[in-house]
């Protein structure tokens, strides 16, 4: 049973959902709660998971063993130890991500945060620094050389 204080704190959210029902972050159909995806859009996303390159996180079709790096990282090792991504960038994820980055669609931030925590959870305990990926190469030109020298 919900206590009175919890019920009172939930009222503004319930009122907002009644006036502006929550919509799927991708296609806009009605969903159960804000920041959610409908079933069809959820099934359309490709979440990245092992097996993948130990350095850049590029997905492999088959498990090649712990510590295996992809051809690109083998030829030219990146200036960082490890990186991970949440989703394959494709037709479904493109709209979701571009809406967040450029369209002021920030209602997806809690979902993205959860997905990022899952994708990078194994890295967090061992990392020295967490950096966002800039939107454009010019946005990181000032610090990229110093980052690579770390």
Model pLDDT for residues 53-78, shown as the tens digit of each residue: 999 999 999 999 989 999 999 999 99
25, part of any domain: no
The pTM of this model reads 0.69
Predicted pLDDT of residue 36? 87
Q: How far is the C-alpha of 68 from the C-alpha of 79, rounded, in Å? A: 17
Domain tally for the chain?
Answer: 1
144 pLDDT tier (thresholds 50, 70, 90)? very low
Predicted pLDDT of residue 135? 56
Q: How far is the C-alpha of 99 from the C-alpha of 44, rounded, in Å? A: 17
73, part of any domain: no
Which residue in 22, 44, 43, 40 sits closest to 31, CA to CA? Answer: 22
The answer to whether 127 and 133 are in contact (CB under 8 A) is no
Establish whether the linkage from the previous residue to 51 is cis, with ω within 30° of 0: yes
Q: How far is the C-alpha of 134 from the C-alpha of 22, rounded, in Å? A: 29
33, part of any domain: no
69, part of any domain: no
16 pLDDT tier (thresholds 50, 70, 90)? low
112, part of any domain: yes
113, part of any domain: yes
End-to-end CA distance of the chain: 53
Q: Which residues contact 110 (CB under 8 A, 6 or more apart)?
A: 35
Write out the residue range of the structural domain in which residue 98 sits: 41-48+84-148
The answer to whether 128 and 140 are in contact (CB under 8 A) is no
105, part of any domain: yes
141 pLDDT tier (thresholds 50, 70, 90)? very low
């Amino acid at each position: 049973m919900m206590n009175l204080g919890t019920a009172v704190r939930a009222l503004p959210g319930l009122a907002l959902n009644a006036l502006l029902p929550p919509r799927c972050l991708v296609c806009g159909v009605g969903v159960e709660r804000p920041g959610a995806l409908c079933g069809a859009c959820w099934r359309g996303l490709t979440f990245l998971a092992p097996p993948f390159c130990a350095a850049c996180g590029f997905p492999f079709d088959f498990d090649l063993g712990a510590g295996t790096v992809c051809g690109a990282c083998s030829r030219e090792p990146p200036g960082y130890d490890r990186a991970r991504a949440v989703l394959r960038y494709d037709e479904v994820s493109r709209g979701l991500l571009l809406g967040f980055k450029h369209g002021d669609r920030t209602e997806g931030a809690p979902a993205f945060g959860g997905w990022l925590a899952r994708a990078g959870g194994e890295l967090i305990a061992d990392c020295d620094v967490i950096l966002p990926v800039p939107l454009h190469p010019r946005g990181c030109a000032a610090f990229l050389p110093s980052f690579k020298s770390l």
